[in-house]
Structure formats: structure tokens, C-alpha cells
Structure 1
Amino acid sequence: MDVSVGGVGELDLATVRAFVAVADEGQFSTAAAALGISQQGVSKRIARLENQLGVALFERIRTGAVPTAAAARFLPHARSLLAVADEAVATLVRQPRPLRVAVLGERHIEMRAMRYYLGRHPERDIEIVLSNAFVTSRDALLAGRVDAAFARAHGGPRALPAHIAAIPVRLDPLHLLVGKDNPLAGRAAVPLAELAGSRVWVPGTSVESEWTDYYRELSRYSGIVIDSTRRAEMFPGVDPGRGPSPMDMILEHIAESDTLATFNAEGFELPWHPHIRRVHVVDPTPAYPHALVWDDTDPHPGLAELVGYFRENYDRATAPGCWIPDSDRALFMSEPG
């Protein structure tokens, strides 16, 4: 299917789909896997679209591909274009589409929560959509790519509009990960106040997002210095397509250091490493506020059951001992109305 665009000619939806896939995945190889075509095929489609639009859409870096400023402007329109096309096809074939739910990644707690839910409700037609640091779950929801998303409901580079509803899902406690030779390695727990002035490496905060905003607020509250150095800067010359995974590289780097530390959420699945020590942070425990958010103006018919399940299973008793930003407190700490 082609779409006519004034001054540009016919936009091929296949090239637009490839563009969105690379923007979402952050790598040509994973975009190719998601589309079911070769990496060379994705590269050709992107090159054709760049030639047609007359702009570069991606900056090729060691860790994959980063959207350019032009791509960032084009991305929401590309998503809308694909959403309209998909809805048109769905209308013609008269098949109800699945409920699309965005999660940040395979290792995150919300993915495990969804697997648990689907394991007990196999009849529910749900499609899980993976997001990433460049296109977050909230971005996917606001662009109309998904019907609901697991994300932080408040904070971030832009506020959610009034028609986005939210319920609390989980407060995920943050622990420190340190190497065996770090002075904190022998301690089971450390008070948050004792970490004032300490430098903690959180590479995911190199991109502006709702979790970057969370760590900014935590830094203001606690005095912890958040180090936003990107993985690519920490590991220069390393080919991201070969060797250990990024998470394995991070753990190895921390394990070899007697000073470096990073935060890790309790619900995040880590690779095992014999020299990594987990130190609990207490009095209070910083926790990341995971919510389920959705567009309340025209919700998917299958959304009510999912919302009801997570609303019923939120453990509000964990909230009093946790620190979260003030903007999230009403949703996570107030009694349900």
C-alpha cells in the first residue's frame, strides 16, 4: 500500500514500517527479526525512505541506530499512518484485533506479570509490544501504537494528557549492585542518607525519559550523584553485535571495580555473576512506581479485564516504607476510592 504525500510522492508503507521498527528496536538486526525480513532488506528500505524524504533518519553508532532530529519529527506521523492502515485492514477482514500492551523489556517485572496473567487466562487475545529507551512504553501509547502500557504515570519530559487513565501496579524496590571488593559489599543494607555524595552509574538515564526524571528526583532528595555515562562510552571499541550482552558487560565492569555501583530494581531479572553483591537500600527504600496507563476515550473491549486484575492485585501495604517522587504519591500511596 502506498500513500501520496505532497512534494514527496508515494510513501511505501513497507519503508515506513521498517523506519518505525528500527526506531523502536534501536538496531537494524532486531528490527529485521521483528519484521521477518533480512537486515539487508531493512537497510535498503531505510535508504529508500531517506532518499525519498531527502534527510538522514538514523545515526549509526556502535550500539545500533539513533533517530536523528528529522526522524523524531517524522516518527509520530509514521506511527499514525501505520495505525490507520492497520485499522483499515482490520475493518475489511472483520477480525477483532488483539489488545496491544507495551512493556519496556523482556527482563522487566511487568513482562513477568503479563506472563503470569496470560498463563492463567490463555483465552485472552493480548499482544505484548516491547519498547526501549528511545521509544518508551508511554511513547507507544501516546502514538496510538498500543492500547495500554506499563510505565510511570507521572514525571518525564512531557506530562500525560488528561484522557490517559492510570492505576498502580507495583512499587519496585531499588537495590545497589556492587563488586565483591567494594566497601559496601559486606553489608546487607545501607541507609539512603548514608549514600549522599556517592556516585551511582545508571546508563539508562543518558536518554531523557520518565525514568531519567525519576533518578533526577531521587538525586535531589538523597544527594546521590547519578552518573549517566552511556554504555558505549564506558566500553569504547566494543562491537555490540558480538560477545557478551550489554547487561553482562555492565555487571562485569561493576564486578571488577571497587568503587562503581549501579541501581537495580528487585523485579528486574539479572544474569548471574559470582562477584556481584546486592545491597538493600533502606530508611526509606527508593522504589520505582510501575503503573498501567491507557487512553480512556475509546478503550479496547478487552482492556477492562486487564485493568481489573492489576487493580485488584496491587500491594498497597508496601508503600509506606518506600520513597517515590511527590508526583507519584497520590496514585501509589492513597487508599483506593
Structure 2
Amino acid sequence: MDLDLAQVRAFVRAAEELHFGRVAGTLGVSQQVLSKRIARLEFLLGVALFDRDGRGVRLAEGGARFLLPARQALAAADAAVAAAVGGRRPLRVDVWGHLYAPMRTLAQVAEEAGDLALGHGRDLASVSAALLSGDIDAAFGRVHPPLHAGLAHRLVRLEPVDAVLSVGHPLAAEPALRPERLRGSVLWAPGALDRLDFLHRFAERFGIRERATSVNLGLAHFLAEVARDARGFALLPADVPLPDIPGLRSVPLVEPTPLYAWSLLWRAGGGHPGLDGLAAACAARAGRLRWLEYDPARDWLPEPPTGTARAGPG
């Protein structure tokens, strides 16, 4: 049997997301086309890959058996394409965490890293799926558990986080703040907190019980809502330029200083030859600018840096 890689890719993405509508969108096809590809693959294999009912879809026993070799088949196909075109294809890198502007950091190493093709993923789950299916070569953002066993990562930067408050907030005039002093304030988030791991961990660690959710329409829209709330605050890396919005003040957080961890993420077991160059450029910049300094007596991280990075390229 000759497998159709478009059908295999549709199956792998659907197995990872378990949501045909979302997968159809990321593949640029209609849900009907996606369903037909998977149905055709099931017909050719003579095996049900998914169980479908009124509550949605889940992997069937045959699908669970097929998933790992299907991923390997896609990876082999991608490797064959890369070998055929040689070094001409750019390294495809997605970033995620739009509100924290990951492109600020990646832009600082892009010239040293060679030819990059940059895109945007929705979140860690979506870029992980894209890496595993071979749609991208690497990704850049905050990595947190649980992470798929087929992926590897390297810590690139630890960035101090400030509190951004309305000028009407009772603490807005302070030169610096300890995080626990924000307990009586409202933490603003650009989405559901259970999907924003860093903000969720910060709220739990420092006892922030009141939360408010905004629609993520970009940094300016988000901070305009914060500016209107005299009890509200948001968290942003210290060097993110604030939009020109009246009524905002950025205050450093100390004792401890929260650090936001940026990592380079890739599929384990091989990849694009440009990945080594990107990892080396990140490491060189981190060394020159002391991006990886961490003192547990002074700083706070949801996960210690010694447990964050795995051995990787470069």
C-alpha cells in the first residue's frame, strides 16, 4: 500500500488535537475535506483510527497503534525533502506567547542564525503539534510541563517581569513592589488563566485570588483595559515597550523578581541543518548579555532552570 502523506498528516494532527475543526483550520482545508482524508485512510488500512460519538472524537485502538509510525513516516518524508533541496530551505520557526512579544528576543539572534522563515503559533500545544507533524522545524516561547516526549528544548533567556498598573492604583507610586503586596489587586489576563501557565502559577504562588479576563486583541487593547481598572494589574517582561496609553505605570517586582523563561523547542532525533546555527546564536547572545542569570534567593521561576533545558543541538 502506498500511503498518501496528506492523509497521514491529517490523521496525525487530528490525533494530537482531537478536534477536527481546529485541525482543518491549521491545515488550510475545510472540515469536510479533513474528514474525507481520514475516512479514506481508514478505508485503505481497514482499521478504525478514531471513535466518534456525540461528545467528539478520541483515538481508537488502531489509531493509537498507528500514531507513532505515522509520525515517523512524516518525519522521514520531511527529511527526504530537506536532503533534496540541501541548505536552500530556510529554517521554519514559529513563536508563541504574542502578548509577551517573543519576536523581540528572536530578532536579536536572527542575523547570526542564517535564513529563517518565521510564523506564529497559537500556544505551546499548537506549536508542539506542528513540530511533531513536521510542519515547522523549531519554535520559540515559554516551555512548561507536560511536554511531549518527542520534543527537546533549550533555555535561552530568563527575563524579569514588571507589574503594569493603572496610575489610579494605590500602589502605582511605589518605586518597586514585592509580589505579595498585589494580593488585594486584580490580575488581568489575555484569556482563560488555566491556559496561561505562567500567570496561573504566579497567581497561585503569591495568593492573587481576583482575576479578570480580556479578549486577546493585542497588547494595546489589553493594557487599555488595565488602565481603566484602578485595582487591576498585568504582568509584562521588563523590556517590552509599553504602548502610548495614558494612565499606565510599570513597576519592578522584587524579593523575589519573577522571571519569564524563553526556550528554543524542536523535534528530537534530527532536524533541519540550520537548527545548530540558531541554537549557537542564542547561546552566544545569552552569554554576552547574561540572559541566564538566576539566583533562587532573589528570583522566582515556576520551574527551576536546571530542570528546564535538555541536551540539544549546537
With structure 2 as the length reference, what TM-score do the two structures score? 0.68
Matched, 1:328 2:312: no
Please tell me the root mean square deviation across aligned C-alpha atoms, in Å. Answer: 4.4
Write the letter of the residue equivalent to 1:98.
Answer: P
Aligned partner (choices 300, 307, 310) of residue 282 of structure 2: 310
C-alpha separation between the residues in 2 aligned to 1:166 and 1:49?
34
How far residue 104 of structure 1 moved from its aligned partner, in angstroms, is 1.3
Aligned partner (choices 204, 210, 214) of residue 220 of structure 1: 204
**Unpaired runs of 5+ in structure 2?**
14-18, 40-54, 310-314
C-alpha separation between the residues in 2 aligned to 1:72 and 1:264?
39
Write the letter of the residue equivalent to 1:307.
Answer: A
Aligned partner (choices 182, 185, 201) of residue 195 of structure 1: 182
The alignment-based identity, stated in percent, is 26
The 1:108/1:142 distance shift into structure 2, 3 A limit, reads farther
Say whether the 8 Å CA contact 1:172–1:288 is kept in structure 2: yes
How far residue 159 of structure 1 moved from its aligned partner, in angstroms, is 2.9
C-alpha separation between the residues in 2 aligned to 1:72 and 1:130?
28
C-alpha separation between the residues in 2 aligned to 1:272 and 1:286?
25
Say whether the 8 Å CA contact 1:185–1:279 is kept in structure 2: yes
Equivalent residue, structure 1, for 2:294: 319
Matched, 1:130 2:120: yes
Q: How many aligned residue pairs are there?
A: 276
Equivalent residue, structure 2, for 1:295: 267
Equivalent residue, structure 1, for 2:215: 231
Equivalent residue, structure 2, for 1:64: none
The 1:88/1:165 distance shift into structure 2, 3 A limit, reads closer
C-alpha separation between the residues in 2 aligned to 1:84 and 1:23?
25
C-alpha separation between the residues in 2 aligned to 1:304 and 1:93?
18
The 1:247/1:107 distance shift into structure 2, 3 A limit, reads closer
C-alpha separation between the residues in 1 aligned to 2:221 and 2:299?
30
The 1:140/1:151 distance shift into structure 2, 3 A limit, reads farther
Equivalent residue, structure 1, for 2:16: none
Write the letter of the residue equivalent to 2:226.
Answer: I
Please give the secondary structure, in 2, of the residue aligned with 1:127. strand
Matched, 1:259 2:259: no
Equivalent residue, structure 1, for 2:107: 115
Tell me the alpha carbon deviations over residues 264-287 of structure 1, each in whole angstroms, 9 at most, x when there is no partner: 222434422121111211110111
Aligned partner (choices 247, 270, 276) of residue 275 of structure 1: 247
The 1:329/1:294 distance shift into structure 2, 3 A limit, reads same
The 1:302/1:205 distance shift into structure 2, 3 A limit, reads same
Say whether the 8 Å CA contact 2:100–2:236 is kept in structure 1: no
Say whether the 8 Å CA contact 1:206–1:228 is kept in structure 2: no
Equivalent residue, structure 2, for 1:180: 167
Tell me the alpha carbon deviations over residues 26-60 of structure 1, each in whole angstroms, 9 at most, x when there is no partner: 9x8xx8xxx9xxxxxx7xx52643774899xxxxx
C-alpha separation between the residues in 2 aligned to 1:12 and 1:170?
36
Tell me the alpha carbon deviations over residues 254-306 of structure 1, each in whole angstroms, 9 at most, x when there is no partner: 22221122212224344221211112111101111111222341132121122
C-alpha separation between the residues in 2 aligned to 1:87 and 1:277?
49
Say whether the 8 Å CA contact 2:94–2:136 is kept in structure 1: yes
**Unpaired runs of 5+ in structure 1?**
36-41, 56-67, 233-244
C-alpha separation between the residues in 2 aligned to 1:96 and 1:278?
44
Write the letter of the residue equivalent to 2:111.
Answer: G
Please give the secondary structure, in 1, of the residue aligned with 2:269. coil
Write the letter of the residue equivalent to 1:170.
Answer: R
Say whether the 8 Å CA contact 1:167–1:311 is kept in structure 2: no
How far residue 196 of structure 1 moved from its aligned partner, in angstroms, is 3.0
C-alpha separation between the residues in 1 aligned to 2:109 and 2:242?
22
C-alpha separation between the residues in 1 aligned to 2:130 and 2:243?
28
C-alpha separation between the residues in 2 aligned to 1:176 and 1:196?
13
Write the letter of the residue equivalent to 1:159.
Answer: L
C-alpha separation between the residues in 1 aligned to 2:185 and 2:238?
21
C-alpha separation between the residues in 2 aligned to 1:173 and 1:291?
15
Tell me the alpha carbon deviations over residues 120-175 of structure 1, each in whole angstroms, 9 at most, x when there is no partner: 55xx122122112485444433443322222333x34x2342x5333221112221
